[in-house]
Amino acid sequence: MVQPRQKRTATQDIIPPLDLVIFGGSGDLAARKLLPALLIRYQTGELALQTSAQFRIICLGQRPLDRESFHQFLSEKVADHLDPSVAAAWPNFLSCIHYVCLDAASPKDYLALKAAVREDNSVVRIFYLSTPPDLFTGIVENLASAGLVHKNCRLVLEKPLGRDLASARAINAHVQRYFEERQIFRIDHYLGKETVQNLLALRFGNVLFEPLWRREWVSDVQITIAEDIGVGSRAGYYDRTGALRDMLQNHLLQLLCIVAMEPPTSLSPDAVRDEKLKIIKALKPFGPTEIANNVVRGAYRAGMVNGTMTDAYVDEDGVPAGSTTETYVALKAEINSWRWAGVPFFLRTGKRMPERVAEIVVRFRALPHSIFPGVTGAVHPNTLHISLQPDEGLRLRLMAKTPGEGMHLRATELELDFHEAFKTPRM
């Protein structure tokens, strides 16, 4: 259940009138993530002082639909993704949602967008590019040519920002011609997850772990994001992207950085970014030998998920015949630093896995010396299990004596369930 947040009052920071323009507004990401998340903000009060006249979402898509048919199309598409506790607010929320039929590559279509947004420069205008990265530069060019970019605009870019270093640099250079850095937001939605933010609290709000958080005491770290869903309707984007670019170089590397970085001097974005960058720079480079020894890629075959037969990746709608795009990747990374030298970080992610699980497991070293010779029960190393989804919480595995006669050891767990502890919604 979503707990109502305190309504904002006139003296609190009021969100100014807003036109949120979503490129890819009829697409998968909008329906699965963006609109359900905005609905929660709308319903829990963060957009409380916004009436539908002040807060407008303008979805862009290529389907020739009028507003009413778009609402119908969208309502069906989002139905399975709305948090049940706010779903009843969806019909009201639709009053904020507008639709413009636009081909992002067609400059003349931007006239229709210009007619849809408010001219007044005090209205914050956000362009959210929920599209494949090869469209970014063309969209920004077309927005600028149509006179749609002003100082009160923001540009949000969805990862991946290109295919490689050269294309990422080209995208950055291009958007910076029209937007100042303060106006550009490069999004990784994993950073918005409560448990991911909680990693900062766990590491830097407690003294307990810090002395142990290093090569002397940690034997390995495993970061896993397994999804049970397949590629769905996104083959056009996904087949050119693959698991390495879609998940690993962003979500998994962000998690790796937060787990491994030194304490930042503050929580300011630059201070945190600087520490993460040091980790990225210290990653042991992968040459052909390391790739052969330390990386596995694969694609899902036909099988059974949650009791339903599912197709192999290559047989999914829109996947080109003979595709070798990976839907699974696992690799062993190492960080060349005093703190982490020699500690393997195992990263893995895949679609159509047996269950949806995202977690970080820190395994501590075995006992340096056991005083329990002949004791029944193996002495397991301690592990800290940080669960990101579907449940959010921590489990610390400790050895304990089982009650009763004699010395019998057993692994037990100290468990913290964030939803129970803080009575917050499960997302």
- Please give the Cα distance from 136 to 138 (Å, whole number): 6
Q: Which amino acid is at 103?
A: D
Question: Interface with ligand BG6 includes 326 (CB under 6 A)?
Answer: no
Q: Pick the catalytic residue: 251, 380, 385, 419?
A: 251
DSSP letter, residue 8:
P
Considering beta carbons, is residue 117 or 226 the nearer one to ligand BG6? 226
Considering beta carbons, is residue 141 or 194 the nearer one to ligand BG6? 194
- Of 245, 243, 256, the C-alpha closest to 284 is 256
CB 358 → ligand BG6: shortest distance, Å? 6
Considering beta carbons, is residue 83 or 246 the nearer one to ligand BG6? 246
Do the beta carbons of residue 345 and residue 335 sit within 8 Å? yes
CB 250 → ligand BG6: shortest distance, Å? 7
Question: Interface with ligand BG6 includes 83 (CB under 6 A)?
Answer: no
In this chain, which residue has its C-beta nearest to ligand BG6?
A: 246
- Report how many residues bind ligand BG6 under the rule CB under 6 A: 3
CB 300 → ligand BG6: shortest distance, Å? 13
Geometric angle at alpha carbon 122, from 120 and 125, rounded to 5°? 85
SS3 36: helix
Do the beta carbons of residue 20 and residue 60 sit within 8 Å? no
CB 237 → ligand BG6: shortest distance, Å? 8
Question: Interface with ligand BG6 includes 246 (CB under 6 A)?
Answer: yes
- Dihedral angle of Cα 225, 242, 25, 30, to the nearest 10 degrees: -10
> Annotated catalytic, 251?
yes
* Secondary element (H or E) of residue 265: none
CB 23 → ligand BG6: shortest distance, Å? 15
SS3 187: strand
Considering beta carbons, is residue 120 or 188 the nearer one to ligand BG6? 188
Edge-first strand order for the sheet with 55-61 is 97-101, 55-61, 18-23, 124-129, 153-158, 184-187
Question: Interface with ligand BG6 includes 227 (CB under 6 A)?
Answer: yes
Considering beta carbons, is residue 171 or 218 the nearer one to ligand BG6? 171
- C-alpha pair distances (Å), 137 with each of 29, 141, 157, 168, 194: 20, 6, 11, 11, 32
- Of 165, 144, 138, 43, the C-alpha closest to 94 is 43
Considering beta carbons, is residue 77 or 214 the nearer one to ligand BG6? 77
Do the beta carbons of residue 36 and residue 44 sit within 8 Å? no
CB 29 → ligand BG6: shortest distance, Å? 7
Residue 220 pairs with which residues in a beta bridge? 363
Question: Interface with ligand BG6 includes 359 (CB under 6 A)?
Answer: no
- Please give the Cα distance from 305 to 317 (Å, whole number): 18
Do the beta carbons of residue 171 and residue 137 sit within 8 Å? yes
CB 88 → ligand BG6: shortest distance, Å? 23
Considering beta carbons, is residue 175 or 255 the nearer one to ligand BG6? 255
Residues of this chain that bind ligand BG6 (CB under 6 A): 227, 246, 358
**Which positions are catalytic?**
251
